[in-house]
Amino acid sequence: NPLKSAEFLISAARAAQFPDEDSPEVAFAGRSNAGKSSAINRLTEQKNLARTSKTPGRTQLINFFQLANGARLVDLPGYGFAKVPPAVKEKWARLIDSYLQKRPQLAGIIHIMDVRHPMKPFDEQMLAFASQIDCPIHILMTKADKLKRGQQARQLQIVRNALGEAASVQLFSAENGQGLEEARSIVAGWLKT
Ligand code: GDP
């Protein structure tokens, strides 16, 4: 697993702090609490690489992780803490936007959605961002272990129908490892690791 070599590199609060070498990157996005940190930790086989974040303050940073070959995983701040004031939400949107607009080395976006609550407005916004910059997007419908197989298949079909050609999508569980190999091979393929 090439992702296992991931090490924390830097947290950025603004574009000037983004690492500037031209290494390929895969960004992880999702609503707060969707399961993004758990997915990153599972993919990298590291228990605490991405902090499972419960505090709105931490959501304002972009965290960069470096792999042995120089490629990077990028943890974009989660969206959707209800109590966050509008000014903070705006800052968040600007930070994400500055990342997505200024990363020619962005090889793909892994977008995390809770299998039980897919395709919320933020998810649509992220898909729109990705299509604007012509970046491939792969969706992990995570927490699949929370649903029976039949329900999982139904949710997957709903999202596939909604997406059409816009993104690829799979079921995933950080809890029991469902879909892990498929997700890893997508990330590794984008990063050519
Ligand atoms: P983040 O805010 O998107 O980074 O979400 P976290 O990774 O912190 O996860 C939010 C909550 O969902 C935590 O309580 C996790 O333990 C739980 N969780 C995350 N992934 C899974 C999963 O695949 N299955 C189950 N059952 N729970 C999960």
CA of 42 to the centre of ligand 1 (A): 11
Distance 155 CA to ligand 1 centre (A): 18
Question: Is the complex ipTM more than 0.90?
Answer: yes
Beta bridge partners of 74: 27, 64
Q: What is the arrangement of strands in the sheet containing 72-75, beginning at the earlier edge strand?
A: 7-12, 62-66, 72-75, 25-30, 106-114, 137-142, 168-171
Angle at 72 between CA 67 and CA 77, to 5 degrees: 130
Burial 59-89 (b: 16+ CB within 10 A, else e): bebbbbbbbeeebbbbbbbbbbbeebeeeee
Q: Which atom of ligand 1 is nearest to the CA of 172?
A: 23
Residue 58's pLDDT is 54
How many structural domains comprise the chain? 1
Each residue's pLDDT expressed in tens, for the chain with a length of 193 residues: 999 999 999 999 999 999 987 899 999 999 989 999 999 999 999 988 997 655 555 557 899 999 999 999 999 988 776 667 788 778 888 888 899 988 999 999 999 999 999 999 889 988 988 888 989 999 999 999 999 999 999 999 999 999 988 899 999 999 999 999 999 999 999 998 7
180 alpha carbon – ligand 1 mean position (Å)? 15
Per-residue pLDDT tens for 157-174?
999 999 988 899 999 999
Full DSSP string of the chain: -GGGG-EEEEEESSGGGS--S---EEEEEEBTTSSHHHHHHHHHT-TTSS----SGGGGG-EEEEE-TTS-EEEEPPPB--TTS-HHHHHHHHHHHHHHHHS-TTEEEEEEEEETTS-S-HHHHHHHHHHHHTT--EEEEEE-GGGS-HHHHHHHHHHHHHHHTTS-EEEE--TTT-TTHHHHHHHHHHHHT-
Q: Whose CA is nearest to atom 26 of ligand 1?
A: 143
| Domain containing residue 176 | 2-191
Ligand 1 center to 31 CA (angstroms): 11
Ligand 1 binding pocket (C-beta < 6 A) is 30, 32-38, 52-53, 78, 142-143, 145-146, 173-175
Domain at 65, CATH number: 3.40.50.300
Question: What is the Cα–Cα distance from 118 to 28, expressed in whole angstroms?
Answer: 16
- For residue 133, what are the contacts with CB-CB under 8 A and spacing of at least 6? 100, 101, 106
Say what the pLDDT of residue 55 is. Answer: 52
What is the best residue among 32, 52, 62 to mutate for testing ligand 1's pocket, by most ligand atoms within 8 Å of CB? 52
Supply the pTM of this predicted model.
0.95
> Residue type for 113, please?
M
Per-residue pLDDT at 181: 97
Give pLDDT, residue 60: 77
Tell me how far the alpha carbon of residue 38 lies from the centroid of ligand 1, in angstroms. Answer: 5
